Amino acid sequence: MRDDFFSGGLRGLGRRVTDRVWRLGFASRFLLAILMYSGMALRRFGLTIREIYFTGVLSLIIILVSGLFVGMVLGLQGYDTLQRYGSSEALGILVALSLVRELGPVVAALLFASRAGSAITAEIGLMKATEQLSAMEMMAVDPIARVVAPRFWAGVISMPMLAALFSALGVFGGYLVGVQLIGVDEGSFWSQMQASVDFREDIVNGVIKSAVFGVIISWIAVFEGYDCEPTAEGVSGATTRTVVTSSLAILAADFILTALMFRGA
């Protein structure tokens, strides 16, 4: 009896581990398949443009508004701390660097995962549940090329744009609060910012980060949708998994990328 209990638990653990590894392997093979079949997504670019509309353009409002508010909060908090050391002119540096390096790519990616990633998963999952994907296969249309690849590329293209918009609006928000509301000197706000934000080191690295996040989110979202159980519960579970997994993956990847990029000169 005891033996059964232990070996049963052990077997369950083993099955769960092999299940995870199996899914990871399937996901990698799936990514490879997307890349191989993305010819159609690029040739018939209209398909991808349609998806950019749904993932990118419709995420604009949430990205712009949150960027503005995050920048305004940074302006208030940064000023509160910096003025203790009598260096409130450095507010521009603080706002710009924290947005361009970290908050822009990461927060935009988290918002994008919950706004667009979940929608992609739900859409593909529902297509699978209603057997639209099988119907396509019957008509000799590859669902990976027709449905999955355009959504994947749309996410990869939209994400850097959204992150750049987030950062730009955030800097503007910091400017509104810092300069217009509190009264930090406008000249030193911008000039100190320009003196310490480097194009190659900070801005390009931020764009690279957001592009990597775009790949991660789109990959997880299309995979969860394609792999979900074709039931109502399966689709809802897959949508939840998309948001949770991609949020965790974004934060972990952010740490790795930051460690590689900013090791401190």
Partner 1 sequence: MNRATLDLWVGFFVAIGLAALLFLALKVGNLASSNVGETYQLQAEFDNIGGLKIRAPVKSAGVVVGRVSDIRFDPESYRAVVTMKMDARYKFPRDTILTINTSGILGEQYVGVEVGGDTAMLKDGDMVKKTQSAVVLEKLISQFMFNKAQDDSKK
CB 161 → partner 1: shortest distance, Å?
Answer: 3
- Is 85 a binding residue for partner 1 by CB under 8 A? The answer is yes
Q: How far is CA 264 from CA 149, 165, 176, 201, 258, in A?
A: 38, 26, 30, 11, 10
Local structure of residue 38 (DSSP, 8 states): T
Q: How far is CA 165 from CA 21, 210, 215, 229, in A?
A: 37, 11, 18, 36
Q: Which of 17, 32, 36, 57 binds partner 1 (CB under 8 A)?
A: 57
- Residues of this chain, 15-34, that bind partner 1 according to CB under 8 A: none
Strand, coil or helix: what is 238? helix
Smaller CB separation from partner 1, 188 or 236: 188
What mask, x for binding partner 1 by CB under 8 A, covers residues 197 to 216?
Answer: xxx--xx---x---------
- Is 195 a binding residue for partner 1 by CB under 8 A? The answer is yes
Q: Who contacts 92 (Cβ-Cβ below 8 Å, separation ≥6)?
A: 174, 175, 178, 184, 188, 189, 190, 191, 192, 193
Residue 85 corresponds to which tokens in the numbers above? 């050391």
What mask, x for binding partner 1 by CB under 8 A, covers residues 153 to 192?
Answer: -----x-xxx-xx-xxx-x------------------x--
CB 131 → partner 1: shortest distance, Å?
Answer: 26
CB 85 → partner 1: shortest distance, Å?
Answer: 7
- Is 49 a binding residue for partner 1 by CB under 8 A? The answer is yes
Instruction: Give the whole-angstrom CA distance, residue 207 versus residue 105.
Output: 7
The length of the chain is 265
Nearest to 170 by CA among 89, 69, 92: 69
Residues lying near partner 1 in the complex (CB under 8 A): 46, 49-50, 52-53, 56-57, 60, 85, 87, 96, 100, 158, 160-162, 164-165, 167-169, 171, 190, 193-195, 197-199, 202-203, 207, 265
